Chain A
């Protein structure tokens, strides 16, 4: 272990790849999504009518928090080109003769277009434009009813006889950052764990120093492995706790359940990722191969964990694959503990699955032990 601590500090790579990368990522993602929900998404307003009512619509839309009319034009192709250049996410079209048709009850038609090539921007613009057309319709009904001499409160109930109250459980602000960063940052920590574990062990093989390493541990494989991993695990855990404090204390992300159980889940996740690292270098005791495979494997974890695109919607074989990623199980624990405040028993299955990854590293132990002794694998 002492030897490892020495090595760890002797090579700047270790500290840089763990502490440096983690600090940078935390800083990056928290500042990136500082404002958690999309506001003021640019849209284009195509006014073919050019009357007081279309201008009023434009003003009212501009006053809403979600969209920002950055282009007012009377040419649809111009608006479309702005969309193709990524300047606007939506186009709102007021047809020619809108005002005249409206007062004549000819039911003029408003059109709006959104792009789905940029999902968040497109969605935000869509919701706002949808609200706007319904409000416009409501406003017109109100005017007509007022002319008929009805009082305002009666009118309101006529126009809006049915409402939906939305409740966003555990994230009432609809904060994008809460749901994204809470899984991405632990995921990056996991990436660091698996890559550095492969690197630390593989480097001994590559430099042909594995025998010396075993000798330091008195020839005992278990002691050698534990001695090697303890210093790293401590660093990862410190990073994990630091990240937890930043997210849930300073950034104010919600945890409705227990902090300690969530942290325990994180510890299990770190250990599972290390175990996967041992397993991979045990299967392929050549540093360069193991590290490439490790990278390919762990990057898939982000998609397969299902925090953006739900696992339940994936094809059944892919759903099965998702269980092979520790991040999936950590995500389930996170949802249970932080968001759902579910009983501990619900987190038990993912926690046990994470433990199963540790068994994998034991299964590969004899093979890795031999590789460390005989150094019988090619360097390249």
Chain B
């Protein structure tokens, strides 16, 4: 029994030794520190600065009003009150307005035909408005369409009431008929509905994922270059030592990143006034499997990186691919099956969705258990894989050394 305890104690000591060595390597390497600390802390602020304004406001619009009527002016007046747009130019013809659009001075055109007022006045008439949208950014379209639609519905109700009154209905009844089934719309969880409060949470999680990936690949590549043997504890045979090395190194990253993740996933949403309705305790627990899965995933990838810098060169584009694959900016229902299954293998997918569910949408850890369990599963899989890969490399290395010593003899 004593012997067994002694054995465990020795293993723990060795794990601790790997942990200390790894911490030293991280803190003595300015390149890794730039990625781990500087990039992780500076990037959120840069993104917040870029997406500072939540709403797209004052999209410039050109007006082509051929009807020149009281009704069209009223419509424009009402629309201009919407914060989304501003009526920047009044043009005499469509040609003139198209020119403005081509020069990107306006991002939309509203067109009232000659007969606009006449059609409205005619109890059987139907009036048309044409709306042209610049599609160079979808947010223009969203702002222009939705706000114009709102004004259209409102104007339409007034016209309807007028017409029903003309038919001889009493005002009360006409009003009840037009408003027969009113509705209320509520944007849940993110009341501003802004672009920043949607994108930045996903980006925060991505920053943690990618800096870990790049940093660990950098450390792995450097060790390869310097021919340091990450896969061996001096005086120990390979084999079960892979386990201790993987654990020891992971512990070093985990300690640093737990603090960083707490800042990015808990403190910054509050500082930036992003949606943060999740329970802090749930988030603190959610971070654990997310970081572990990412660390072991990165350790598996880093095995294939031979140079310090090549990891960054090869993997930089992966940031965009991971972001889109996770189904946040492009709905997951629209992603082809194959990519969707592949995306579950990347810790970011479950991490980002889980974080958004908890932090932005106030889900409990139990509600978001699918992502939470997925992350623990990934942690297990990548941990075993990382140990196996390390074991294989150690074995390959020993074999070449063996062959070399044979060749010398």
Where the two chains meet, the residues of A that have a C-beta atom closer than 8 Å to any C-beta of B are 13, 16-17, 21, 24-25, 28-29, 31-35, 38-42, 80-81, 83-86, 89, 91, 102, 105, 107-124, 126, 129-130, 133-134, 136-137, 140-141, 144, 154, 157-171, 174, 176, 178-179, 184, 187-188, 191-192, 195-196, 199, 202-203, 287-289, 291-292, 295-296, 298-300, 302-304, 306-310, 313-315, 317-318, 335-336, 339-343, 346, 380
Contacts and interface: CB of A to CB of B under 8 A. Distances in A.
A299 B205 CA distance: 16
B267 interface: no
Contacts of A113: 185-188
Q: Can you list the 9 inter-chain pairs with the closest CB atoms, starting with the nearest? A: A84-B363, A171-B135, A116-B190, A116-B193, A121-B331, A133-B183, A342-B102, A288-B31, A110-B183
B155 interface: yes
A281 to B, nearest CB: 11
B306 to A, nearest CB: 8
Q: With a 10 A CB-CB cut-off, give which of A110, A124, A162 has the most chain B CB atoms.
A: A162
A32 B153 contact: no
B104 A120 contact: no
Contact of B135 (A83, A168, A191): A168
Interface of B: 29-31, 34-35, 39, 43, 46-47, 49-53, 56-57, 101-104, 120, 123-142, 145, 148-149, 152-153, 155-156, 159-160, 163-164, 173, 176-190, 192-195, 197-199, 201, 214, 218, 275, 307-310, 312-314, 316-317, 319-321, 324-325, 328-336, 339, 353, 356-357, 360-363, 367-368, 370
A163 B126 contact: yes
A340 B101 contact: yes
A70 B141 CA distance: 28
A340 B134 CA distance: 9
Contacts of B321: 24-25, 28
Given A83-B188, A339-B135, A161 B127 contact: yes
B39 A119 contact: no
Nearest to A319: B50
B127 to A, nearest CB: 5
A137 B179 CA distance: 7
B186 to A, nearest CB: 5
A296 B180 contact: no
Contacts of A179: 135-138
Contacts of B361: 83-84, 115, 117
B133 A340 contact: no
Nearest to A192: B317
A21 B181 contact: no
Nearest to A299: B319
A102 B181 contact: yes
6 contacts: A84-B361, A162-B128, A188-B317, A288-B218, A313-B53, A340-B136
Nearest to A40: B333
Given A117-B360, A314-B52, A288 B308 contact: yes
Nearest to A160: B126
A133 B378 CA distance: 44
Contacts of B363: 81, 84-85
A2 B259 CA distance: 50
A124 B334 CA distance: 12
Given A32-B339, A116-B198, A174 B141 contact: yes
Nearest to B368: A85
A289 B325 CA distance: 30
B339 A13 contact: no
Given A21-B314, A42-B333, A133-B183, A315 B132 contact: no
B346 to A, nearest CB: 13
B136 A339 contact: yes
A108 to B, nearest CB: 6
A25 B317 contact: yes
B128 A163 contact: yes
Contacts of A196: 313
A168 B130 CA distance: 11
A315 B49 contact: yes
Given A117-B189, A120-B330, A157-B126, 4 more contacts: A32-B325, A113-B186, A308-B195, A346-B104
Contact of B124 (A108, A116, A154, A171): A154
Contact of B184 (A85, A111, A164, A313): A111
A336 B173 CA distance: 53
Given A195-B316, A292-B31, A306-B137, A32 B336 contact: yes
B337 to A, nearest CB: 11
Contacts of B182: 107, 109-110
Contacts of A84: 357, 361-363, 367-368
Contacts of B123: 157
Contacts of A38: 331, 333-334
B88 to A, nearest CB: 12
Nearest to B186: A113
B251 to A, nearest CB: 25
Contacts of B353: 86
B180 A102 contact: yes
B56 A313 contact: yes
Given A25-B317, A84-B362, A109-B184, A309 B137 contact: yes
A161 B167 CA distance: 15
Given A31-B336, A159-B160, A116 B183 contact: no
Nearest to B181: A137
Contacts of A307: 136-137
